[in-house]
Amino acid sequence: MENRAILILGLLSFVLFLSPVGWGYDDAMGEAHQAINRAAIEYFEKTFFREDGKDPYLRFASFNEERWKGIDWGPEDGTRNLFPRIEVAREKTIREWLIGGGFSADEPEGPMALLHFYDPTNSERPYLTDQQFLVRLIRFLGGTTFDNPQRDAVTWTFRTRPEDTIEFLGLFDQEYGWLQAKEYLKKAIESKDPKDLYGKAWRAVGEVMHMVADMTVPAHVRNDGHAAILGDPDPYERGTSGDHLPEALERGRPANLKYFRFDAEALMKDVASYTNANFFSQDTIPGRYTLPSLEKLEDGRDGYLYSTTTDGHRYRALAKGGFLDRWWRRRRYAIDRRVVEDQQSILLPTAVRACAGVLYAFLPRFDVKASVAPVAGKEGVFEVVGEITHHLNFQWQERFTIRNGAFVVVKRGEEQIRIPVKNFLGQDLNSFHVEVEAEEGDEIFVEYDFGGYVIRSPQEDPSGTYRGEILFTDPNLEKLGLRNYRVPFTLTLTPDGKATMTYKHEGSLEIPLGDGQSIRYRFASEAELEGTWKGSAVSMTGEERGWMEVVPPSMPPELTRELQDIAPGLGAPQRVESAGKVSIEAQVHGDTVEGKRILEGYPTPQPFTGKKEKNP
């Protein structure tokens, strides 16, 4: 029995798996799949990770550079035709895991070569059935029940669990498909210690991106096995590497498909149907497919036949076969370098856009909110209340219980201080409140980091109206015994960055002199300040105008007249008017504004605080 197993494995390696039936975008020629995944990530980030993006729940999301544990099989580990599988514990960024999935999806190369095909026109047998005599030869020579797994790429990617492949005795193990990616991510988010789960989740998503990109390889959607051992390599696959991607993206354009939706399986099928209906593979000219139609091709009189895709792309579909093609290969038409280049100009941009669509469908949507307010009696200390809401969709229909990844971030200029929120006793972090220290001018926000997928709270929009009180500490009034005099103010911040502040007051003070006599002081001031705000900082300047009036005690008329003769005005009310420059420096934290009023000529700044009015 042991000798037979060795014989089987040897036959598998030498007959079938040393020259596999074919896998999309040959990694040995430029690592095309990794380049596609990388370009898809860049496109996705530029399109959705922006504050004016179309998806409101991705506007404040990003991928960061933190490294996360996972199980890897990278180019540096080499390839395998069969066994043993390579599993290396590594720490990589989310982008590196996603890109690396473009490589590992093809490993081990032998078994995977049978699983990357999907024929959208054959509902009964959409899996690879071409060139199966190689598999039958192994069965005959090895005396084994080994057979084609009869699983198409869509089923393998979206509907296969490990228990579904037990019958294949470890040859076809699905550990990094769509279902596994979702399971890994859910377990990671809901674990106090996610260990290697985040890395596994992102690797699985990267492998799904690979599988979807394979649907842009004509041979993979037209049941065209292309075993190199038979001298039958696919010209598009062999002629496409990562080096061809920049030019294809620059001069080409993707198919007109609905890429950004939550049903990634439907997207994969649509990509396959588009490729199948619009492009030939070398061994399906005209072959068993009605589309593209040879009769509808246009003779370009340059040695090529042109086709127009269902969405209006005109391209070289076939080259007219030369003498050698007609006589030796028995082919009237061929797919040469220029045909491949025209195919690349449509199919490579389509692969990139479709892989970006995989990210769109997979990433769960969150909304993070934060409120920040100064703690009374603790200078430089702020209370931060954070909350995350999981918005359900077609892919994610149950909310997460979050047990890791919550942070309060204090941004000080270009520096960011990341303060982890502790998970005590395993309670969830769906909401929390903590106190943090910060300096004047710091920006404070909340973010959740799920293995490099970061969602932060938006910067509070401070525009609106604030009302509060300025604590006047006028030295002249303090000399008269008037302390802690409070003046109401109104501060308005407009969305275009303008700031205005007004305050106006009038008061009086009476100082008893005895015998029923007293001196009365009356005073008033007002100001209209203008300035700007940016972020949380507010700055304004203006002029403050005021007056003070002293009313002496009442006196007999005779005495009043005598005083007037000695010094005109003596004994009558005295009024003094004044004007001076005033400036305001303030900070907005949540719905609270705090600042200082600085009056020219007065050494002591006067503090104020106010609250934002709520919209009715």
CATH of the domain at 556: 2.40.160
Res. 8 pLDDT band, cuts 50 70 90 = very low
Domains contained in the chain, number = 3
Please check whether residues 52 and 75 belong to one and the same domain: yes
**Is the domain of 116 the same as that of 265?**
yes
Position 555 confidence tier, pLDDT thresholds 50, 70, 90: low
Report the distance separating Cα 199 and Cα 181, nearest Å.
10
- Looking at 362, 393, 424, the residue that finishes a domain is 362
Instruction: Give the end of a domain, one of 456, 472, 487.
Output: 456
Residues 155, 93 within the same domain: yes
The 3-state secondary structure of 413-424 reads: CCEEEEEECCCH
Place of tokens 């479709």: 354
User: pLDDT averaged over the chain?
Assistant: 86
Q: What is the pLDDT of residues 522-539, one digit of tens each?
A: 888 899 999 999 878 899
Domain co-membership, 406 together with 346: no
What is the model's pLDDT at position 331?
61
Helix or strand holding residue 343 (H, E): helix 337-362
Task: Please indicate, yes or no, whether residues 195 and 147 belong to a single structural domain of this protein.
Answer: yes
Residue with the bigger pLDDT between 13 and 163: it is: 163
For residue 482, the enclosing domain spans 464-612
**Helices 197-214 & 94-104, crossing angle to 10 degrees?**
50
Q: What's the pLDDT at 565?
A: 55
pLDDT score recorded for residue 367: 96
pTM exceeds cut of 0.85: no
As a whole number, mean pLDDT of residues 293-314 equals 94
Answer yes or no: do 302 and 193 share one domain.
yes
Average pLDDT over residues 13-27: 50
Q: Which two tokens stand for residue 355?
A: 């892989």
Q: Which of 435, 456, 477 is the last residue of a domain?
A: 456
pLDDT in tens, 314-360: 999 999 876 555 555 556 899 999 999 999 999 999 999 999 999 99
pLDDT tens track for 366-400: 999 998 888 888 988 999 999 999 999 999 999 99
Name beta bridge partners: 465: 492
Instruction: Mark whether 479 and 407 lie in a shared domain.
Output: no
Listed residue (1, 6, 17) closest to 172, CA to CA: 17
pLDDT at 478: 66
Domain shared by 352 and 476, yes or no: no
Q: Does residue 34 sit in the same domain as residue 19? A: yes
Q: What is the mean pLDDT of residues 32-39?
A: 97
Region of poorest pLDDT, from 4-8, 292-296, 304-308: 4-8
Q: 5-14, 236-245, 318-327: which has the highest mean pLDDT?
A: 236-245
pLDDT at 63 over 90: yes
Q: Which of 608, 585, 589 is nearest to 435 (CA)?
A: 589
**Which tokens hold the place of 27?**
């990694």
Q: Is the pLDDT of residue 511 over 90?
A: no
Distance in angstroms (rounded) separating the CA atoms of residues 579 and 545: 4
**In the chain, pLDDT over 90 holds for what percent of residues?**
61
pLDDT beyond 80 at 573: no
